[in-house]
Amino acid sequence: MSADLRPHLKGALRPNFQWGYATAAAQTEGAWNIDGKGESIWDKLGHTPGKIKDSSTADDAVRSYDLYKEDVALMKSYGARAYRFSLAWSRVIPLGGKDDPINPQGIQYYNNLINELLANGITPFVTLFHWDIPQALEDRYGGMLNLEKYMPDFLRYARVCFEAFGDRVKRWITYNEPGVYSLAGYAAGVHAPGRSSNRELNEEGDSSTEPFIVSHTEIVSHAHCVKMYREEFKPTQKGTIMITLHGNYSEPWDANDPLDVEAAERAREFEIAWFADPIYKTGDYPASMRAQLGDRLPRFTEEESKLVLGSSDFYGMNSYTTFYVKHRTTPPELTDHLGNVEKLDTNSKGESRGPESDTYWLRTCPWGHRKLLNWIWRRYHVPIFMTENGTTAKGEHVPPPPTEEVLHDTHRIEFFNGYLNALATAVKEDGVDIRSYFVWTFTDNWEWAAGYTDRFGVTWIDFDSPEKKRYPKRSATVVRELFEHLIAKE
């Protein structure tokens, strides 16, 4: 299978369109306790029996800490213009706090990586927080459950990063998917720090309140961080700063039922507008959330509301799939965070949302992707940076070396053909302003609580080999061919 190069979309994307690969420190670096790095909440969870699907840890992950030069060379061979990666807070400041010592070896590693990328013509996009708060801060005061104590620690960490790397890094992201961090970590309790109302799974937590408290902390601290960057660093460093939000598209189960149409919109508000409305639209949470959650949803002070609104230069967007959404006739449960809806794989006509991947929730749905891009553009009218999009594929868990069939990853190729053409169509035909696209992800990696059971990479990894041997998949070439066709020449 090859790239689906549609003649009418040739040159649809701007000449300076940024595309490349996205990763997270906790999933790729390894070296979890090497060169002064402190423990993160994911290090702790990974070492807690029964918490990771395959009982694995990210102690070595894919060793990108040691192999960054080889990885940058491979990325360059894939044609990438940009690389989005996160900094491990506990590698930079092992104990995390505002008065805790900085780790010079951590600073040096990220300096080396940034310099290697720039030397190879690859633009770094740097995420400050990708779910891995230092364990010491969780132990001291409950992490993001305590905004007052957390804020100075996060702002000091951000300041250290701006000072150390901002002369070369011009694309900053404060938080990655704050909603997933709070929902998976504090509502479902399956991600670090592992809190929920489910006492069979978690010893502590309250799924009805904590996800909203933590998300409020993320939004407010994000806004303060952006204010600091804009006032103290932007005038000399000339960079941009944004937040990256998650969100899959919700399509009515029955498009002719007003209740399902309303439920789909409510689902989009609970998932996406929860963060995007305060930051890009109103300075406050959506009315649909307040109506259901009442005082369980925190309130912004007048000062916070002003600070939050407009606190992101662009719309950072992570999205993977689409769901059919049906309204529920029963009152919402206290632990509901979806907007009292049912999410389904088929609609009222029996039509599927798309082909299955190797991940239960993820199906290929390019038409939903185009609809979502349009929904975000119409609602917020802020230029969009696609910061994550990708898929797993069935049949990739094979003994090394991988077969030719595995490396010619047809399912993933079909996914990228569909989604990238949908993105280009949204730009050319719908007028949506989209400025980047980052594939999730560069190599197969440690996929959080799924361990090594989810392979999202365009590079197959032999996890059993000491060097985590890399094998390029065909999809890496197809993505390059697609962008060579879709991006206009200077």
Q: Which residues are tagged catalytic?
A: 177, 388
**Token reading at 327:** 């309204």
**CA-CA distance, 362 to 357, in Å (whole number)?**
6
CB–CB of 210/334 below 8 Å?
no
**CA-CA distance, 439 to 41, in Å (whole number)?**
26
> How many degrees, rounded to 5, is the angle at CA 442 between CA 438 and CA 446?
115
Angle between helices 474-486 and 410-428 (to 10 degrees): 20
Nearest to 75 by CA among 16, 6, 121: 121
CB–CB of 439/479 below 8 Å?
yes
What is the largest distance, in Å, between two alpha-carbon atoms of the chain? 60
φ, ψ for residue 478, nearest 5 deg: -65, -40
Burial class of residue 299, CB neighbours in 10 A (0-12, 13-18, 19+): exposed
CB–CB of 364/354 below 8 Å?
yes
CB–CB of 409/459 below 8 Å?
no
**CA-CA distance, 37 to 27, in Å (whole number)?**
15
**Token reading at 258:** 């007003």
- Contacts of residue 478, defined as CB under 8 A and 6 or more positions apart, other chains included, come to 1, 2, 3, 413, 416, 417
**CA-CA distance, 133 to 116, in Å (whole number)?**
26
Q: How far is CA 169 from CA 26, 73, 154, 234, 240, in A?
A: 20, 19, 19, 11, 9
**Token reading at 423:** 């993105």
Strands (E) across 149-196 are located at 171-176
| Pairing outcome for strands 240-246 and 315-318 | parallel
**Token reading at 307:** 């600070």
